[in-house]
Amino acid sequence: MTTQVTKNKWITVAADSINQYPDGINQIYQEELEGIVIKQVFSLEEMLNVQQQLEMQKLATHEVRYGQTLGQVIIEIGKDRSEYLQNAQRFREGLTTIFKIDFETKLENIFSQMSGGRNIELPKENGQAYSPATIRFAQPKKGGLPAHTGNEFLHDSAYDYLKSIGKVVNGLSYFIVISKPEEGGELVLFYLPPEHMSKQETDPEKIRLAKQHLDSCPQRKIVPETGDMIIFKGGNIMHKVAEISGNKTRITIGGFLALSQDDQKIYYWS
């Protein structure tokens, strides 16, 4: 396939052509690009096998308003990250069983082709690595994932270490579609004008008030297919996952990306 570039800075590119954007991650940071859809990072067959593993293993999930998650998210765990770090190690081991390959190596290979020569690393605290991702099961008729920005969670003390090593304000989000729903489940982006929310806003209350204007602002829907990866500036672009219809659960795996404070690395975690 050929690379497609839209007028509002979204790129759709084949997985074997991402080296056309050797500094793509930084380009999103600098807002030269808004987001990238990378087609077929995993094949449909690979994702069907992952779905099968998830069904067979019946791993312990965490109930959330839109369905379940597998793998602990760093948000709202507080200052003591010891339990999170222990869970991260177990989840990393589990991913190899679920994907039948080294998932982290696969991710890092994709990211490194767009890293501008920067090293790709999981953050490590006291020698323990952060989790690379979280698997989300968004079920039909549960409202989807509510509108949010990554920035609104940065006040949480769980982010203290990440803020010391990375440029997490206005950072990036990434996810891969394991199973696409029958209908709905689109990534919806909201373009709030600066009088409602500044691009650097991290105050949760101000962001909450900005959400009152979502119905009247321009929107864009991104509809990835099974096996596709999306990378976008989820830190300061208000976004949600639309309501899911039909009988199939929307399953994705993803997390976050940030440049290091010295601009020499790119960290990824969840």
Superfamily of domain 4-269: q2cbj1_9rhob like domain (2.60.120.620)
Q: Per-residue pLDDT for 194 more than 90?
A: no
Is the confidence at residue 36, as pLDDT, over 70?
yes
- Residue boundaries of the structural domains of the chain: 4-269
Q: What's the whole-number mean pLDDT along residues 59-88?
A: 87
DSSP symbols for 67-122: EEEES--STT--S--HHHHHHHHHHHHHHHHHHSS-HHHHHHHHHHTTSTT-EEE-
Mean of all residue pLDDT scores within the chain: 92
Confidence of residue 75 (pLDDT cuts 50, 70, 90): confident
For strands 67-70 and 62-64, give the pairing: antiparallel
Closest by CA position to 27, among listed 115, 111, 118:
115
pLDDT band at 195 (very low <50, low <70, confident <90, very high): confident
- Alpha-carbon distance of 266 to 67, in angstroms, equals 30
DSSP bridge partners of 231: 36, 174
Question: What is the DSSP-derived secondary structure letter of residue 5?
Answer: E
Judged against a pLDDT cut of 80, whether residue 111 lies above it is answered with yes
Residue 76 has pLDDT above 80, yes or no: no
Residue 32 pLDDT grade (very low, low, confident, very high; cuts 50, 70, 90): very high
Average pLDDT for residues 60-86, to the nearest whole number?
87
pLDDT for residue 59? 77
The CA distances from residue 138 to 62, 160, 234, 240, in Å, are: 12, 29, 18, 12
230 φ, ψ to 5°? -120, 135
CB 133 within 8 A of CB 270: yes
Cβ–Cβ contacts within 10 Å for residue 146, how many?
10
The pTM for the full model equals: 0.94
pLDDT: which is higher, 126 or 227: 227
| pLDDT confidence tier of residue 5, bands split at 50, 70 and 90 | very low
pLDDT at residue 8, as a whole number? 64
Tell me, what's the pLDDT at 2? 45
How far are the Cα atoms of 185, 186, 269 from residue 112, in angstroms, in the given order? 29, 27, 15
